[in-house]
Chains A and B, each alone.
Chain A
Amino acid sequence: MTKTVELVLGAGGVKGYFHIGLLRAVEELGIKVGKLTGVSVGAIVATFYANGMSSNLILKLFLEAHETSGNPLLLASAVTVPDMRSFLVGMSFLSLEKPWEEAVERLGLTPNDRLRIVACDARTKKPVLFEGTDYKLHAALSASGALPGVFLPVHHGEQLLIDGAAYHRNPDEFCESTAIISALGFATRLSLEPQDPISFYYQWREVYAPVVRQPTEVDNERHVVVEHAADDICGLAFNLSVRRCMAMYEAGYKHGLAVLSKAIADGKIDGDCLSKP
């Protein structure tokens, strides 16, 4: 049986560019990737990767999507009249379900055995894991990124599901073997770049009054942890310049390359998990 390393791609909104850079480092080092666990933006990147898309193509797609993220039509497609229970949890009129349903169909994305997506039960704060092939991918992606206060929760039987980060920002407990954990840090200060009022509000919230607690602790002994810091960028800073997005990608690549090279040299990533000698 082929030996592989698992990947955990954590939550962090627009900071997902770090994940894409890390994936480039993984590809260059020839690390064979087994299962991928994703939360929120990490689930999106993991879905593309598990479907067979390389890091450079994911980057291209993200940059194109970034250009159109302020499109009013896109926003309009997310506007929903919620039921009272959903509204009380989400405090919003925006749902990710319809946009994701259309995107999954249009892009031909499918669930597969390599992919795990983590969401969170709004009531119990326990994890809800989507894995295998028998689930609706758009529902999993919507739920995993449904940050209360921004997006409505997703109905899942009797449960209402919210952003998986409300359970854990980098959930490593589902990994069956050593994993590379790509962890996106929080904003810790306000940005010096000009921001639109909505981005400023979200930045202020992330720094001073986070909507939900997001645990981040991971098993450093067992796994290889790549922590990405961008303390002046909040997860919902959607008006970032392309230059900042590319800077995150480059930093994710360089830092990932350094940490992973060391892990290989130290034997923490088994040589059998490499496709290059």
Chain B
Amino acid sequence: MHTLDLQKRILSFAHRNGVAEPRDELTKLVETLELGIPSHVLSGAQPQFVALQIALVGGERVENHLDELVVAGVISEDNRQ
């Protein structure tokens, strides 16, 4: 998947219904997948930029993780589009 498409998917995941703080979702994703993105980027950058970094660093791993969350029903099928 192209990085910018994956970035969109990550942002859609972080902004899904019921999430109070999208930034926390992005941080959790980084921690879960041990992506090693610096903390100053996670706390200081725009969510779009954090999602871009996650897409670039994680690539297929992030894609697979989001697929698993779709299968588990945590996020909706729309996230795949």
Interface residues of A (CB under 8 A from B): 51-53, 57, 60-61, 64, 105-110
Is B38 part of the binding interface, using a Cβ–Cβ cutoff of 8 Å? yes
A110 to B37, CA, bound (A): 18
Q: Of the candidates A52, A64, A105, A106, which one forms a contact with B45 in the assembled complex, judged by CB atoms under 8 Å apart? A: A52
Q: Looking across the interface, which residue of chain A has its beta carbon closest to that of B48?
A: A108
A51 to B46, CA, bound (A): 10
**Which residues B4-42 have CB closer than 8 A to chain A?**
4, 7, 38, 40-41
Q: Do the beta carbons of B40 and A52 come within 8 Å of each other?
A: yes
Q: Looking across the interface, which residue of chain A has its beta carbon closest to that of B2?
A: A64
Q: Looking across the interface, which residue of chain A has its beta carbon closest to that of B44?
A: A52
Is B53 part of the binding interface, using a Cβ–Cβ cutoff of 8 Å? yes
Question: Which 9 A/B pairs are nearest by Cβ-Cβ distance?
Answer: A108-B48, A108-B46, A108-B49, A52-B41, A57-B56, A60-B56, A64-B3, A107-B52, A52-B45
Q: Do the beta carbons of B49 and A51 come within 8 Å of each other?
A: yes
Is B66 part of the binding interface, using a Cβ–Cβ cutoff of 8 Å? no
Interface residue SS majority, chain B: helix
Q: Do the beta carbons of B49 and A107 come within 8 Å of each other?
A: yes
Q: Of the candidates A52, A57, A105, A109, which one forms a contact with B57 in the assembled complex, judged by CB atoms under 8 Å apart? A: A57
A106 to B49, CA, bound (A): 8
In addition to A107-B48, A107-B52, 19 A-B residue pairs with Cβ atoms within 8 Å of each other are A52-B38, A52-B40, A52-B41, A52-B45, A52-B49, A57-B53, A57-B56, A57-B57, A61-B52, A64-B2, A64-B3, A106-B48, A108-B45, A108-B47, A108-B50, A108-B51, A109-B46, A109-B49, A110-B45
Interface residues of B (CB under 8 A from A): 2-4, 7, 38, 40-41, 44-53, 56-57
A64 to B50, CA, bound (A): 18
Q: Do the beta carbons of B3 and A51 come within 8 Å of each other?
A: no
A71 to B52, CA, bound (A): 21
- Chain A residues closer than 8 Å to B51, beta-carbon distance: 108
Q: Of the candidates B4, B40, B44, B57, which one forms a contact with A106 in the assembled complex, judged by CB atoms under 8 Å apart? A: B4
With most chain B CB atoms within 10 A of its CB, the pick from A57, A61, A108 is A108
Q: Looking across the interface, which residue of chain B has its beta carbon closest to that of A112?
A: B44
- Chain A residues closer than 8 Å to B53, beta-carbon distance: 52-53, 57
- Chain A residues closer than 8 Å to B49, beta-carbon distance: 51-52, 107-110
A107 to B56, CA, bound (A): 12
A52 to B53, CA, bound (A): 9
Q: Looking across the interface, which residue of chain A has its beta carbon closest to that of B37?
A: A52
With most chain A CB atoms within 10 A of its CB, the pick from B41, B46, B51, B57 is B46
Given contacts A52-B40, A53-B53, A61-B56, contact A110 B2 (CB under 8 A): no
A28 to B20, CA, bound (A): 39
A229 to chain B, nearest CB (A): 30
A274 to B56, CA, bound (A): 27
Q: Do the beta carbons of A60 and B3 come within 8 Å of each other?
A: yes
A137 to B40, CA, bound (A): 21
B60 to chain A, nearest CB (A): 13
- Chain A residues closer than 8 Å to B3, beta-carbon distance: 60-61, 64
